[in-house]
């Protein structure tokens, strides 16, 4: 999160620093890229170049994470819309959710609570179980640790009643 920490991550990615026994393989490379992206250290062009050097399905999912991790309101809005669109594969859907939640400043995603609660029932009943579960759990406003989040969750659960017991359970677990 700090400049020094991001410098260390960048050095590992570039190969100008190493750690004994640590091999920067493809998966670790993408983890470093995503961390740098969340820290504002990867431009869209750099992310596109990284994807160009790893056009595998795993590389594409990792690229989605890095894209969604960018620390801008625009990137978070784009990611949120992609998540709700229902057009991504299960893997890429989960990757965008992971990137959306990679924030150094929780304020970047704090404005999504109402949109989350306004959309989850429709997504729960309209998407596959796996995609809906990813949304319900992955987008739950857990970074907004507040009484207001708990109250909003309770309100939603009260409105839901006894319908959709699996959705209820996921929300109760997230609330806890």
Task: Give the pLDDT confidence of 52-90 residue by residue, as tens digits.
Answer: 999 899 999 999 999 999 999 999 999 999 999 988 999
Residues 128-156: tens digit of each pLDDT: 999 999 999 999 999 888 899 999 999 99
- Taking alpha carbons only, the member of 97, 102, 34 closest to residue 62 is 34
pTM: 0.92
Tell me the average pLDDT across 150-170.
Answer: 96
What are the DSSP calls for 28-96, one per residue? HHHHHHHHHHHTT---HHHHHHHHHT--SHHHHHHHHHHHHHSSSHHHHHHHHHHHHHT-S-HHHHHHH
Residues 43-53: tens digit of each pLDDT: 999 999 999 99
Distances (CA, A) of 92 to 59, 88, 132, 165: 10, 6, 14, 27
């Amino acid at each position: 999160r700090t400049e020094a920490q991001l410098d260390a991550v960048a050095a590992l990615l570039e190969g100008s620093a190493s750690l004994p026994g640590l091999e920067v393989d493809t998966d670790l490379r993408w983890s470093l890229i995503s961390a740098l992206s969340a820290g504002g250290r990867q431009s869209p062009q750099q992310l596109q170049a990284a994807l160009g050097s790893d056009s595998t399905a795993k590389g594409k999912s990792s690229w989605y994470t890095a894209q969604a991790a960018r620390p801008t309101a625009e990137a978070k809005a784009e990611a949120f819309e992609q998540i709700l669109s229902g057009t991504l594969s299960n893997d890429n859907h989960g990757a965008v959710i992971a990137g959306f939640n990679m924030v150094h400043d929780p304020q970047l995603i704090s404005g999504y609570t109402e949109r989350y609660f306004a959309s989850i029932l429709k997504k729960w009943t309209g998407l596959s179980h796996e995609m809906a579960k990813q949304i319900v759990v992955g987008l739950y406003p857990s970074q907004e640790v507040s009484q207001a989040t708990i109250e909003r969750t309770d309100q939603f659960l009260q409105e839901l009643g006894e319908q959709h017991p699996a959705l209820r359970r996921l929300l109760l677990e997230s609330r806890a």
